[in-house]
């Protein structure tokens, strides 16, 4: 066995610390799951939650207790939407085959899907997962360019296959990037020109190492980089032209941002002035929970691959999944969900900005449509705080509102509900968030201090949060060296600021 980097903590991952507070039946299910499933699976939250049913923007636990879902983008037209359910049931009761027989459904769907894109004449191909779509996009780009080099952003996530895990820095140090991969700084607010300079530097570095560029692969909303919706001065189009000048292709990963999530324009790349991708990959919300994903590629780009290779993905684009995907397009249009994403998203964004204005813990609020990110910081320093973000996420879960966190430091609240999310739901979320923020008052203001054994100053500078609200700090998250700085002297059981890199999965 070779020595490896410490196992990174997954953002919002369950670590066993909250087990004791769970009902006996949930503890038993966790134990059975651990005995039966491979160890690489992770659960969400300090206290994982079990669901038995979903409807619209709500999930229900086995006792029928309702949770507001402000996190899941796969059931994007709503959990168990009746139109999707009946389309799937009808098709499953009629015929389910594959793309080697003629069926009209897949052709109809491809025509409808292509009509929503703005990349010029294009073809569609279907897979089962977003990972497979990116994997196929990579093969197409390599066939077209003759190159192997790929540029991604610093904390990108593009999937699970061997090829795309190598393009996913967010998987952490134990999943190394490929030798042909360069990660560039993400376009954080205000630093978009640095991003373009980073792409230029990566192109030069690949060239210096004799690696020919195949593609730049970018999530159109940079979700695992911390939710970065800025389109500032067309920086993505500028990056794309640098890539093309170097012989590469621009692949827009719309697995997160597609199908109306960012508002009326349906696709995240369409928000970026002048950006015309060569390949667009899609997944997650495409079938509202049925495994369908795929890509569209400009015809000249795909022609090369189509001549040289054969592609058959057994379940990719099967009639049942296509029926789900068609129903999703119908519901998006019939219920005006992309427009709702724009208007409710803006309503929620401004409510969150209002909350942030009066909270020392919340900093930048970003978002477009129903994809929002809120930076959580230590008030004394303004530095990112994964610990406070985790406390907020778990505090909201305890009050039955589901969100999560993301970003390279795990400090960005990730709010990404199903698209029928309305203003009343946004109000509920904001109210619960402000209740949770009230529990995060500085220890001094809550009457805690040196008497509690805190050796550092009993105020926000000690960067510790009283444990009672959120349970003790799990053993595997305790800083073991002085590198955590002064904060490592806080008493046992207090949550302590650390600079540990978090691995974010989306
Ligand atoms: N790309 C992005 C941007 C994603 O967020 C994900 C999934 N979180 C994927 C690709 C991979 O999709 P899948 O899990 O369906 O393989």
What does R_g of the chain's alpha carbons equal in angstroms? 23
pLDDT at 479: 29
Contact 295, 267 (CB under 8 A): no
Contact 269, 281 (CB under 8 A): no
C-alpha count within 13 angstroms, C-beta hemisphere, residue 17: 23
- Alpha carbon of 331 to ligand 1 centroid (Å): 23
pLDDT surpasses 80 at 415: yes
Comparing 230 with 450, the larger pLDDT belongs to: 230
Decide: 158 in ligand 1 pocket, CB within 6 A.
yes
- Alpha carbon of 164 to ligand 1 centroid (Å): 10
- Alpha carbon of 253 to ligand 1 centroid (Å): 9
Q: Which of 72, 259, 283, 371 to mutate to test the pocket of ligand 1 (most atoms within 8 A of CB)?
A: 283
Decide: 219 in ligand 1 pocket, CB within 6 A.
yes
Report which ligand 1 atom has the smallest distance to the Cα of 128. Answer: 15
pLDDT surpasses 90 at 489: no
Contact 316, 126 (CB under 8 A): yes
Decide: 281 in ligand 1 pocket, CB within 6 A.
no
- Alpha carbon of 105 to ligand 1 centroid (Å): 25
- CA 135, 137, 143: angle at the middle one, nearest 5? 105
Residue range 455-482, pLDDT digits in tens? 333 333 333 333 322 233 333 332 222 2
At 9, the pLDDT band (50, 70, 90 cuts) reads low
Instruction: Retrieve residue 186's tokens.
Output: 């993400």
Q: What is the DSSP string of 357-426?
A: HT-SSEEEEEEETTEEEEEEB-TTT--B-HHHHHHHHHHHHHTTEE-EEESTTS-EEEE---TT--HHHH
Instruction: Retrieve residue 100's tokens.
Output: 């080697």
Decide: 130 in ligand 1 pocket, CB within 6 A.
yes
Q: How far, CA to CA in Å, does 168 sit from each of 31, 216, 328?
A: 30, 13, 28
Residue range 200-222, pLDDT digits in tens? 999 999 999 999 999 999 999 99
Q: What average pLDDT score do residues 344-368 get?
A: 97
At 442, the pLDDT band (50, 70, 90 cuts) reads low
Q: What average pLDDT score do residues 50-70 get?
A: 97
**Which residue has a Cα nearest atom 1 of ligand 1?**
158
At 444, the pLDDT band (50, 70, 90 cuts) reads very low
**β-bridge pairing 412-415 and 371-376:** antiparallel
Query: Which residue has 């995060």 as its token pair?
Result: 440
Q: Among candidates 229, 285, 221, 281, which has minimal Cα distance to 252?
A: 281
Residue range 277-322, pLDDT digits in tens? 999 999 999 999 999 999 999 999 999 899 999 999 999 999 999 9
Residue 366, judged by CB atoms within 10 A of its CB (0-12, 13-18, 19+), counts as buried
Mean pLDDT of the chain: 88
pLDDT surpasses 60 at 486: no
Q: Which residues contact 158 (CB under 8 A, 6 or more apart)?
A: 130, 131, 134, 152, 164, 167, 168, 217, 219, 253
Lowest mean pLDDT among 10-24, 42-56, 146-160, 277-291: 10-24
pLDDT surpasses 90 at 8: no
pLDDT at 441: 63
Instruction: Retrieve residue 228's tokens.
Output: 């970065």
Residue range 126-165, pLDDT digits in tens? 999 999 999 999 999 999 999 999 999 999 999 999 999 9
pLDDT surpasses 60 at 496: no
- Alpha carbon of 74 to ligand 1 centroid (Å): 11
Rounded to the nearest 10 degrees, the angle between the axes of helix 130-145 and helix 299-308 is 90
The 3-state DSSP class for residue 501 equals: coil
pLDDT at 368: 98
Comparing 445 with 116, the larger pLDDT belongs to: 116
The dihedral formed by the CA atoms of 321, 289, 407 and 345, expressed in degrees to the nearest 10: 100
pLDDT surpasses 80 at 118: yes
Decide: 131 in ligand 1 pocket, CB within 6 A.
yes
pLDDT surpasses 70 at 445: no
Q: Among candidates 171, 68, 93, which has minimal Cα distance to 432?
A: 68
Report which ligand 1 atom has the smallest distance to the Cα of 283. Answer: 15
139 vs 79: CA distance, rounded Å: 34
DSSP structure class, residue 136: H
pLDDT surpasses 50 at 359: yes
Q: Which of 40, 75, 158, 286 to mutate to test the pocket of ligand 1 (most atoms within 8 A of CB)?
A: 158
394 vs 415: CA distance, rounded Å: 14
**List of E strands, 13-99:** 53-55, 58-60, 66-69
Decide: 134 in ligand 1 pocket, CB within 6 A.
yes
234 vs 382: CA distance, rounded Å: 29
pLDDT at 450: 40
Residue range 159-190, pLDDT digits in tens? 999 999 999 999 998 999 999 999 999 999 88
**β-bridge pairing 464-465 and 401-402:** unpaired
pLDDT surpasses 80 at 365: yes
Top mean-pLDDT range of 12-26, 233-247, 451-465:
233-247
pLDDT at 10: 84
Q: What average pLDDT score do residues 183-199 get?
A: 93
pLDDT at 471: 30
């Amino acid at each position: 066995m070779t020595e490896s980097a410490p196992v990174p903590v997954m953002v919002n991952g369950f670590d066993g610390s909250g087990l004791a507070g769970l009902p006996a039946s949930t503890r038993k299910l966790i134990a059975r799951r651990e005995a039966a499933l491979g160890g690489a699976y992770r659960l969400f939250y300090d206290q994982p939650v079990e669901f038995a049913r979903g409807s619209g923007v709500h999930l229900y636990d086995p006792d029928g207790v309702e949770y507001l879902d402000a996190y899941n983008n796969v059931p994007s037209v709503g959990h168990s939407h009746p139109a999707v359910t009946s389309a799937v049931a009808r098709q499953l009761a009629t015929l389910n085959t594959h793309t080697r027989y003629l069926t009209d459904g897949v052709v109809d769907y491809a025509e409808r899907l292509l009509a929503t894109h703005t990349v010029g004449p294009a073809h569609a191909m279907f897979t089962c997962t977003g990972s497979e779509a990116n994997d196929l996009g990579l093969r197409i780009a390599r066939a077209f360019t003759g190159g192997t080099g790929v540029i991604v952003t610093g904390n990108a996530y593009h999937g699970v296959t061997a090829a795309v895990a190598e393009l996913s820095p967010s998987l952490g140090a134990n999943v190394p990037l490929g030798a042909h991969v360069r990660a560039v700084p993400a376009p954080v607010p205000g630093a978009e020109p640095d991003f373009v300079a980073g792409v230029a530097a990566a192109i030069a570095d690949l060239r210096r190492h004799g690696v020919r560029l195949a593609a730049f692969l970018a999530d159109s909303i940079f979700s695992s980089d911390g939710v970065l919706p800025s389109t500032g001065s067309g920086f993505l189009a500028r990056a794309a032209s640098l890539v093309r000048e170097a012989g590469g292709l621009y692949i827009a990963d719309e697995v997160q941002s597609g199908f109306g999530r960012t508002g009326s324009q349906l696709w995240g790349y369409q928000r970026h002035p002048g950006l015309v991708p060569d390949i667009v990959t899609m997944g997650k919300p495409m079938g509202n929970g049925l495994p369908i994903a795929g890509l569209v590629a400009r015809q000249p780009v795909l022609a090369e691959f189509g001549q040289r290779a054969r592609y058959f993905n057994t379940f990719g684009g099967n009639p049942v999944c296509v029926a789900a995907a068609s129903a999703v397009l119908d519901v998006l249009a019939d219920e005006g969900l992309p427009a709702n994403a724009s208007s409710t998203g803006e309503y929620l964004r401004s409510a969150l900005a209002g909350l942030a204005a009066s909270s020392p813990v919340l900093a930048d609020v970003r978002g477009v449509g129903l994809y929002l990110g809120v930076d959580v910081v230590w008030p004394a320093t303004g530095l990112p705080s994964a610990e406070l973000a985790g406390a907020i996420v778990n505090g909201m879960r305890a009050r039955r509102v589901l969100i999560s966190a993301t970003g390279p430091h795990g400090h960005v609240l990730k709010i990404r509900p199903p698209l029928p999310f309305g203003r009343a739901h946004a109000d509920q979320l904001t109210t619960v968030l402000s209740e949770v923020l009230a529990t995060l008052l500085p220890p001094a203001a809550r009457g805690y201090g040196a008497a509690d054994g805190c050796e550092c100053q009993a105020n926000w500078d000690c960067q510790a949060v009283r444990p009672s609200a959120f349970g003790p700090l799990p053993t595997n998250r305790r800083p073991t060296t002085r590198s955590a700085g002064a904060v490592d002297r806080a008493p046992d059981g207090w949550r302590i600021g650390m600079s540990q890199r978090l691995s974010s999965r989306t």
